[in-house]
Amino acid sequence: MSAMEPIDTHDLPLSHEPIETWQDLPAAASAGPRDDEGGKTATTGFAELGTIGGADFGLWEMSAGAMRDVEGDEVFLVISGTGRIEFDEPRREPIHLAPGSLVRLDEGMTTRWYVDEAPLRKLFIAPHED
């Protein structure tokens, strides 16, 4: 996929996959599909759109629910959905996410993502990985 032509960032379809087992984080208040044990299973979707100036950019989204993550360096702009990011390491105040939120994450941060209004979709920019 390439962003050489205009892309509708709200409507571009993204195929979702269940999160990995280590990322699972129960979220009783979140809506979303249930796994076999009755817990909520978050899913994520991703589309790489291109590279510019040595940085990759693309779309990522998450269904309603919750998940753990270990972050890479990135800047992102929330396009749709609402939620929050809580920080385990380093400790810092939670960030509330809504359309228009611009967020910078650092390599190695351990986080918990909670999505209320789904999907939470973001446009991200991150260093290119070889």
Q: What is the CATH number of the domain that holds 83?
A: 2.60.120.10
Beta bridge partners of residue 112, listed in sequence order: 68, 86
What is the pairing mode between strands 74-89 and 102-105?
Answer: antiparallel
CA end-to-end distance (rounded Å), the chain: 18
Q: Which domain holds residue 90?
A: 43-127
* Domain assignment of residue 29, yes or no: no
Q: Which string of DSSP letters, residue by residue, matches 35-62?
A: -TTS-B--EEEEEEEEEETTEEEEEEEE
CA 33-24-96 angle, 5° bins: 85
Domains identified in the chain, total number: 1
Per-residue pLDDT for the chain (130 aa), expressed as one digit of tens each?
Answer: 555 788 999 999 999 999 999 999 875 444 444 444 445 589 999 999 999 999 999 999 999 999 999 999 999 999 999 999 999 999 999 999 999 999 999 999 999 999 999 999 999 999 998 7
User: Is residue 27 one of the residues assigned to a domain?
Assistant: no
